[in-house]
């Protein structure tokens, strides 16, 4: 499930709809993923998600 959550986080980041990681975390929670904050807590992962959001603009 963690791999699915991370994959989905990158899909959302690349969609261009989100400007902040907290928005992605909220969307994942709405989609019934659990422990979102814990799974997306790593600094490298957060950096990669931010880069994906910037690239999607």
**CA dihedral of 26, 28, 30, 36, whole degrees rounded to 10:** -70
Predicted pLDDT of residue 57: 86
How many structural domains compose the chain?
Answer: 1
Distance (Å, whole) CA 32 – CA 48? 23
Instruction: Write the pLDDT tens digit of every residue in 3-53.
Output: 899 999 999 999 999 999 999 999 999 999 999 999 999 999 999 999 999
Predicted pLDDT of residue 1: 61
> Would you call 18 exposed, middle or buried from its count of C-beta atoms within 10 A (0-12, 13-18, 19+)?
buried
Q: Domain containing 8: what range?
A: 2-56
């Amino acid at each position: 499930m963690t791999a699915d959550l991370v994959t989905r986080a990158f899909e959302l980041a690349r969609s261009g709809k989100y400007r902040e990681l907290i928005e992605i975390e909220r969307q994942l929670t709405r989609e019934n993923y659990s422990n979102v904050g814990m799974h997306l807590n790593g600094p490298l992962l957060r950096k990669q998600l931010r880069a994906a959001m910037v690239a999607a603009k």
